[in-house]
Amino acid sequence: MADYRTIKAEPLTNVVRAIVKAGGSADREAELVSTNLVEANLKGHDSHGVGMIPRYVQSVTNGGLAVNQHVKIVLDTGPLLTLDGLIGYGQVIGHEAMELAAERAKSNGVCLVGLSNAHHIGRIGHWAEQCIDHGLVSIHFVNVISRPIVAPWGGSDARHGTNPFCVGIPRRGKDPIVLDFATSRIAQGKTRVAHNKGDALEPGTIIDNEGEPTVNPRYTVIPPYGAILPFGEHKGSGLALVCEILGGALSGGQVVKGPSDGKYNVLNGMLSIVIDPGKLGTGENLAREVESFVAWHTGSPPGPGVDKIKIAGEPERETKTKRLVEGIPVDPTTWQDILEAGKKFGLDQAAIEKIAG
């Protein structure tokens, strides 16, 4: 990693905040976007971190991302919410959507919220963690309106996005369970990171533009495009199908219907179920039974090469602890892309370098 630069979380947040503000965003919006992206880096999900800024800048300049938007309530019956993101920054729209959902769940015991037309909402675990902070369980189905990048099981070209699935479960006095994964073998952003680093992918991860297996990530980043394969063969592909329909259609939004329009915009739809265990009358039972199962689950003797059995969300927390101390590694290509993005909003390279320290 000799070619990398390592930047501490605070100055990196300041860089992103400055770029977003230069693009016309209000202080609050710049704060939500910058902290969200850097949090993704801190938790090891560089695919959803500051490397997204060049795409955001491009979307702002081509009209695919509208600054200073707030979530629009289309329908509100208490336990049911339908929301429109108005192609605003997903970090703002997602935050506002989950705050509304948490409020309704605490009042009614549950809130089913359909969110459509949000620009890229980033790491979905972030929204589960927001619900966890309110003591709530949440389930999220997400679709992606952008260039199709994932092949259906048995297919030879891309037909949909990485379509994440996520569940968040709070624990009393202990770190929560946060299950958050793309329904593809690998997140699209991770292939971009591998391409920028010049790394090969694991065999069985992607196919090239002819539908043949390859380990070269360029087929997901530059034309001619191939596709990422679904995780878990037909099972992951089936879950991706469900995420597309629930996150895209039931939410009140749209689904992928054909090839990309050639722009770099990313819209997300998300169907979320947010539950108050106390209102359900099972809060005490949940707290007790979660600890019983986690103890049993993690008590399995580790297999060869495994130091301990971890629960969902634990690797991210470990990475965050490490990166808060050591800093966040940023590869040269990503850093140059960030500098170029800042330039498009009128920030020169020297100004950004100074902020980064």
Residue 1's pLDDT is: 44
Region of residue 49 (phi > 0: left; psi between -120 and 50: alpha; otherwise: beta): beta
Q: Are residues 39 and 99 in the same domain?
A: no
- Is 149 found in the same domain as 24? no
CATH of the domain at 339: 1.10.1530.10
What per-residue confidence (pLDDT) applies to 264? 65
> Is there a domain that residue 202 lies in?
no
Q: Does residue 215 form part of some domain?
A: no
Report yes or no on 205 lying in a domain. Answer: no
Residues 237 and 128 grouped into a single domain: yes
Q: Is 47 in the same domain as 5?
A: yes
Per residue in 282-322, pLDDT (tens digit) is 999 999 999 999 999 999 999 999 999 999 999 999 999 99
Say how many domains are in the chain.
2
Assess whether 129 and 38 both reside in one domain. no
Whether 167 is in a domain gets the answer yes
| Residues 113, 170 within the same domain | yes
Give every residue of the chain whose pLDDT is below 70, as ranges. 1-2, 262-264
Among candidates 86, 222, 228, which has minimal Cα distance to 156?
A: 228
Identify whether 212 is part of a domain: no
Closest by Cα among 45, 183, 187 to 126? 45
Same domain? For 90 and 163 the reply is yes
Domain that holds residue 349: 1-68+327-356
Residue 149 domain flag: yes
Phi, psi of 73, deg, nearest 5: -80, 115
* Spatial CA neighbour of 334 closest among 137, 194, 163, 170: 194
Indicate if 109 and 6 belong to the same structural domain: no
